[in-house]
Structure 1
Amino acid sequence: MDGERQGDGRLAERLRALTGGGFPVAGAVVGPGGTVTASVGAGLGADYEIGSVSKGVTGLLYADALERGEVTAGTPLGALLPLADAPAGGVTLGALATHRSGLPRVPGSARPWRRTIALWRHGTNPYGEDLAALIDQTRAVRLGPPRPRYSNLGFELLGHALATAAGTSYAELVAERIGGPLGLDRFYLPADPSGLRPGALAGTTRRGRPREPWTGEALGPAGGIRADIGSMARFTAALLDGTAPGTAALEPVASFSGGTRIGAAWITVRLRDLSVTMHNGGTGGFRSWLGLDRGSGTGVVVLAAASVPVDRPGFALLTEDRPRT
């Protein structure tokens, strides 16, 4: 698999060395001098699950909706989704965007432990609900204190609420406001495995065991986007130059965990003398990382079709590499 390399040779070698190889991995370094991309183990057009980097996309859509006047930070979920009679209905969009909603990571009625065991044993997708099922699960959720607490459920609901405010579905909202305007050829949300496009990679564990694709209407805003490295490079460039909608989402507005700060989904962390705005992602068989050094106008993306963390490779590329033309 390591024998198939495309794109920039030096970046391909660094990706292989930093990740250990043995599975498809792709990367991009974007900056003032240009953009370089590379792939090892698959073609440059292969698409990956970007996992929770999808939350960063939802954060952009939230900030964009604020600018359009479609919602406010104080808009309650119950005003947009049929949850007005449930505890979650009073949660505001602003609280959701900064992981301060009091919602759990996943609803208890979804039987998360049973799903996790099925994922470990059989590689099954634990997030296959449609929106109606997600709403039903949310009705029974009890809210915790509004302190920083990472919530997949919160971002699922946020994204679908934003789509409702815009009069469309979340998948269409991403296409209309992100994918289309930015020219992201392969940046999409399959509702089920039949929606996977040619070139869609199959994810695996660290040891090569297959994992089902994580598809599902409900999952989309929290982790359902797939993309190839070229689209992710263009997306990163648009974040850096401000042409992506809703880039105010990148600005930290509150403290988060471990000394980090959070904007609308996007985390800002200090790395020695460097401030990095980032989000990572992980599904059953994929890992992803997108980081921005906004001070120098440089960004890095790393995508892997295996459950092998790529945060360290991403940080390494951001600190050691700059684009070459």
Structure 2
Amino acid sequence: MRTPTVLTVVAGLVAATAAAGLMPRPPELGRRQTGDADLAATARAAAGDPEGLRGLAVAVVDGGRVRVAGLGDRAPGGPAVEPGTPFEIGSIAKPLTGMLLAHQAVAGVVRPDDRLTAVLPDVTGPAGEVTLAELASHRSGLPRLPLDSPGAMLSTWWATSTAGNAYAGNDVDRIVADARGAEPDDDRGAVSYSNFGAALLGQALAARAGVGYPELVGRDVLRPLGMAATVVATEPGHLPGDRAEGATASGRSADPWLGAGYAPAGVGVWSTAEDLVRLVAAMLAGTAPGADAATPRFDAGDDSRIGYGWFTSRHHDREIVWHNGGTGGFRAYVGYDRAADRGVVVLGNTTRDVDPIGLRLLDVRGAAASESTGLDGWIGAALALTLTFLGGLSLWSTARRGKDRVTVLSDAVWAVVSLGLAHRFGDWSVVPGWLWPLGTALAGVAVVPAVRRWRALPVVAGAPAWRRWTGAALSAAFAGLAVVVILT
């Protein structure tokens, strides 16, 4: 074997071996468990493949008997999940907001057919004409989020891509201002999911009551149900101290979501399996404040109907009343079968969906143990594959052509940076993690011809020197920015 070939093979093996210790590894549901051992075992079986999960808190109420359990870990190397561990519950807050509407309607404070502007006078224009019932049932025609500018869309995309706080800066004044410029689309009257609409509903009910949304939902729903561990956090100091840490399904740590304006839609809302099973039990018994919110009123498609926040879906011969929730690092599911007198709560601290686990715990036939990859997952997979191999391929091509030292050095830097970006932003719950060491091996292999030809290359070649140096400086600046992104 020729010496250059031997060096190439050795360089690839050394790079791959070194990278193996840093190989991306999705979280995996830990073996620790707390609470009811039988329920923990049943939930673990319902979860199926443990990859993409880290911890679960589950609760079941069956014929009035409540059982709770925790599985796995709150955070990497952290304490075990317990039934009383707080999780972000996201959109499960929407049924709570719908229950506020039903409760206030019974009390005569508002009517479901009241226009938004009559309850929240600061909202003027077309959005003010939608009714409270339309907001509660996602039939307002308002957008999911009011992303009316490229800056807003870019900011939301960046927060989502980096598992950051997608609702930062969205206080009550901000969503009211957004509502003044919003207009229902032509699908008004049909169910089209809207976080914006749910947020406006909750803020309108709070304004009519003369208190903030956290105070209102606490007074009218949470405290009557004994849900003392459920928290509506509007600033970092309100977050539960013993909470689980959220992460993406590929293991990237996620920031808590905070944005007071969107609290009624589920931003900043934390709860426990022990607390949420109280809600489910009261809904089964029909004793919860505003329980009429679960009455199915409008067609939601796919064998589903919706009331005020609560969905009712048919699974063969079963009707399940439910809602789920998802934030940057958590997934949640609550559901109950009134005919079977059975309800469940499932909370997870990664972005792998837990709906299938909840349905299996409800004994719904045909409920899958895992779910298909969504659009975000495929985008993350594409990023993982592209960035893992792009830098090495580019360096190999440049080293073989041997243009000049500036180009080789720039491509070498980007080979390393691309691997870091792939590690940080790729969805390694979809793409096998062992591909990353292969990409590192490719970069290592490309270093051999680059080093061999280095002394024979001019510093710069081709374009005028000032242009080449300017390009190199810009490349270095962008590489430095990318490194900052990787490390934050």
TM superposition score normalised by structure 2: 0.63
Aligned equivalents of 2:279, 2:194: Cα separation in 1: 24
Is 2:130 the counterpart of 1:87?
A: no
Deviations 1:21-52 (A, max 9, x none): 44111111112140101101212221011111
Indicate the percent of aligned positions where both proteins have the same amino acid. Answer: 38
Does structure 2 retain, via aligned residues, the 8 Å contact 1:106–1:112? no
Report the equivalent of 1:122: 162
Does structure 2 retain, via aligned residues, the 8 Å contact 1:47–1:200? yes
- Superposition deviation, residue 295 in structure 1: 1.2
1:99 to 138, 143, 149: 138
Higher strand share: 1
Q: Aligned partner of 2:135: which letter?
A: L
Is 2:142 the counterpart of 1:108?
A: no
Aligned equivalents of 1:178, 1:296: Cα separation in 2: 25
Is 2:178 the counterpart of 1:137?
A: yes
Is 2:286 the counterpart of 1:247?
A: no
Report the equivalent of 1:39: 70
Aligned equivalents of 1:226, 1:197: Cα separation in 2: 8
Q: Aligned partner of 2:276: which letter?
A: M
Change over 3 Å in CA distance of 1:107–1:120 after alignment to 2: closer
Q: Structure 2: which 5+ runs fail to align? A: 1-28, 73-80, 366-488
Is 2:46 the counterpart of 1:3?
A: no
Does structure 2 retain, via aligned residues, the 8 Å contact 1:15–1:26? no
SS in 2 for 1:219: helix
SS in 2 for 1:275: strand
Aligned equivalents of 2:196, 2:239: Cα separation in 1: 24
1:259 to 291, 303, 324: 303
1:150-169 → structure 2 map (5 Å cutoff): 150-169=193-212
Does structure 2 retain, via aligned residues, the 8 Å contact 1:23–1:306? yes
Q: Aligned partner of 1:260: which letter?
A: S
Does structure 1 retain, via aligned residues, the 8 Å contact 2:163–2:253? yes
- Superposition deviation, residue 151 in structure 1: 0.5
Does structure 1 retain, via aligned residues, the 8 Å contact 2:231–2:240? no
Aligned residue pairs: how many?
Answer: 321
Aligned equivalents of 2:37, 2:98: Cα separation in 1: 34
Q: Aligned partner of 1:69: which letter?
A: G
Is 2:87 the counterpart of 1:52?
A: no
Q: Aligned partner of 2:41: which letter?
A: E
User: Mean alpha-carbon deviation: is it higher for 134-143 or for 278-287?
Assistant: 134-143
- Superposition deviation, residue 108 in structure 1: 2.2
Aligned equivalents of 2:162, 2:282: Cα separation in 1: 39
SS in 1 for 2:220: helix
Aligned equivalents of 1:306, 1:219: Cα separation in 2: 21
Aligned equivalents of 1:180, 1:153: Cα separation in 2: 26
SS in 1 for 2:271: strand
Does structure 2 retain, via aligned residues, the 8 Å contact 1:62–1:246? yes
Give the root-mean-square deviation of aligned CA atoms: 1.7
Does structure 2 retain, via aligned residues, the 8 Å contact 1:109–1:140? no
1:162-201 → structure 2 map (5 Å cutoff): 162-201=205-244
SS in 2 for 1:144: coil
Deviations 1:61-84 (A, max 9, x none): 111011010111121111222444
Does structure 1 retain, via aligned residues, the 8 Å contact 2:337–2:362? yes
Q: Runs of 4+ in structure 1 displaced over 6 angstroms?
A: none
- Superposition deviation, residue 277 in structure 1: 0.7
SS in 2 for 1:203: coil
1:71-82 → structure 2 map (5 Å cutoff): 71-82=110-121
Change over 3 Å in CA distance of 1:3–1:63 after alignment to 2: same
- Superposition deviation, residue 320 in structure 1: 6.6
TM superposition score normalised by structure 1: 0.94
Report the equivalent of 1:24: 55
Greater RCO, 1 or 2 (C-alpha within 8 Å, sep 6+): 1
Aligned equivalents of 2:152, 2:271: Cα separation in 1: 27
- Superposition deviation, residue 197 in structure 1: 1.5
SS in 2 for 1:220: helix
- Superposition deviation, residue 112 in structure 1: 5.1
Aligned equivalents of 1:3, 1:294: Cα separation in 2: 33
Aligned equivalents of 2:129, 2:302: Cα separation in 1: 28
Report the equivalent of 2:340: 296
- Superposition deviation, residue 250 in structure 1: 0.8
- Superposition deviation, residue 314 in structure 1: 0.5
- Superposition deviation, residue 223 in structure 1: 1.0
Does structure 2 retain, via aligned residues, the 8 Å contact 1:82–1:135? no
**Structure ID, larger Rg:** 2
Does structure 2 retain, via aligned residues, the 8 Å contact 1:45–1:199? no
1:237 to 258, 275, 281: 281
Q: Structure 1: which 5+ runs fail to align? A: none
- Superposition deviation, residue 280 in structure 1: 0.8
- Superposition deviation, residue 235 in structure 1: 1.3
Q: Aligned partner of 2:167: which letter?
A: Y
Q: Aligned partner of 1:201: which letter?
A: A
Aligned equivalents of 1:102, 1:263: Cα separation in 2: 16
Aligned equivalents of 1:250, 1:108: Cα separation in 2: 30
SS in 1 for 2:148: helix
